[in-house]
Amino acid sequence: MKTIVLCLMILLSISCMTTFPRFPSLRHHADPFYDYNDDYAPGARFPLIDPIQAMRDGPSSPWSLGLGNFLLVDLPNSQVTYVYYHVEELEKLAVKNGVIMAYSSYVDKQANAYIQNGYYHWFVIVPDKNITKGFHTENEFDQYIQTIGIQNPEWQTPDEEFDKYFQTGCLDWIPDCK
């Protein structure tokens, strides 16, 4: 009986090791903002450029991106101002030369049509210069990033960037990962 229990415990241990993800890299960075932080639920955060980070509620939740500064959008033909604190349902992002670029097609389906039509889908954040901008169209976005010296961003999904961070503790833009 003891042999059977021991064998079952060994099999269960092996099963757990292959079922659950590996522990994230516990690499420590010069700036602790970039360290893996277990204050959040597992798989719920990865750093972009201090103080901006991508977050989600859990492994199957959509990603969101904190903007650092909020954006005020005056909606046409309305006295309503819409406030963005973060990008909901982040679909892709790129980081280049200290600039964070993001895209989301998210629109709140419960909002009135005039609010839905005013949503931004393209975003640029430059933390060092305290710049946060939103754009309705890709063309407006492309024109703006060219004025700050960026062309053809290398887009990645948040899941791709998180997986890389989870496995290595590094991302291309983290200062001591180069």
Summarised one tens digit per residue, pLDDT across range 127-178 is 999 999 999 999 999 999 999 999 999 999 999 999 999 888 899 999 988 7
pLDDT at 17 over 60: no
Per-domain boundaries in the chain: 25-177
Residue with tokens 């003891």: 2
DSSP state of 156: B
Of residues 66, 92, 96, 94, the one with CA closest to residue 159: 92
pLDDT at 23 over 50: no
Looking at residue 126, its pLDDT comes to: 96
Of residues 73, 80, 86, 79, the one with CA closest to residue 118: 73
